[in-house]
Amino acid sequence: MKIVMIVLLVGSVLFAQDIAIVKKMTGEVSAKRVDQIIPLAIGQKIHEGDLIVTKNNSDIGIIFEDGTIVALGENSVLSVDKYLFKPATHEFLVDMDMKKGIASFESGKIGKLSPESVKFRVPEGTVGIRGTKFYVEVK
């Protein structure tokens, strides 16, 4: 039984998809991944399901596969619940949950190809992208 569990765990780690990379970071930032707390560093990968936590005087900037950019300031918590970027089969999904703190979000290819697939949640509601045909020019 134990062996099976280990195999399952190792398997899930091996098949976990790298969905983003840490491009910039200061201070202490960690990712809660399954049951582990992983200290993050520049160049490290973010996985689907990671809960990213920044401490005092800490911040992080990450870029997802499709070019979506997320930056978090200090004392922030962001859960990357779902992420799917498969242009070949037109499968897209961005679902993040900002639990506290300060953040910037800049959409990438998914925001352009499938704006309705982008959901950025906050404690009181959600932020989504509006359909292109309704957009107006921003000066």
Partner 1 sequence: MEVAVIATWVIMLIASVFNTPTTTIVLVENGKKHNAIVVQTDAGSTTIDKAGQYVSLTSKKDAPSSVQTMSKESIEKKFKVVQKAAPLKPVHVNLYFQNDSNDLTEESAGKLSEILKLIKDRMPCDVNIIGHTDTKGKASYNAKLALERAKYVKQWVLSSNVDLNNLKVKSYGESDLLVETEDNVSEAKNRRVEIFIK
Residue nearer to partner 1 on the CB measure, 84 or 118: 118
SS3 (DSSP) at 133: helix
**Taking the complex as a whole, how short is the minimal distance between the CB of residue 36 and partner 1, in angstroms?**
22
Q: Please write down the HEC assignment for all residues of 24-75.
A: EEECCEEEEECCEEEECCCCCEEECCCEEEECCCCEEEEEECCCCEEEECCC
**Taking the complex as a whole, how short is the minimal distance between the CB of residue 60 and partner 1, in angstroms?**
6
Residue nearer to partner 1 on the CB measure, 24 or 86: 24
For residue 23, which phi and psi values (nearest 5 degrees)? -100, -35
Residue nearer to partner 1 on the CB measure, 38 or 69: 69
Residues that bind partner 1 (CB under 8 A): 21, 23-24, 26, 42-43, 59-63, 67, 69, 71-74, 98-109, 111-112, 115, 120, 122-130, 132, 134-138
Residue nearer to partner 1 on the CB measure, 7 or 42: 42
| Max Cα–Cα distance, the chain, nearest Å | 62
